Amino acid sequence: MLKTKKGFLLRRLGNEAMVVAIGEASKSFNGMIRLNDTGAFYWKELEKGSSEDDLTAKTLERYDGVDEAAARQDVRAFLASVAVALDELPDA
């Protein structure tokens, strides 16, 4: 299972969503990661704990007319872009 690390916060600045690192987290990552609406949606799922499969399924639910391969590719690209902010936890 993938989960967002402590100290990485999703916030809005103006009309842009971004993830900012505070406290200990800011020592490994100094700055912010900008997210589009889909990215912010994925992030909220990851705050609860999710996986590539979960996110791909959610994408297919959310957007009509997207095929699974394309959805999975999007999810993978997203996960790579926020990898620094994610923990991989053993599945319960």
Residues that bind other proteins (CB under 8 A): 9, 11-14, 16, 20-24, 26, 31-32
The position carrying tokens 């990898």 is: 83
Token reading at 61: 């639910």
| Cα(88)–Cα(3) distance, integer angstroms | 6
Closer residue to other proteins (CB): 47 or 68: 47
Q: How far is CA 17 from the centre of its chain?
A: 12
| Cα(63)–Cα(71) distance, integer angstroms | 9
Closer residue to other proteins (CB): 25 or 46: 25
**CB 25 to other proteins: min, Å:** 9
**CB 8 to other proteins: min, Å:** 11
User: To 5 degrees, how large is the angle CA 52–CA 60–CA 41?
Assistant: 65
**CB 27 to other proteins: min, Å:** 10
Closer residue to other proteins (CB): 39 or 56: 39
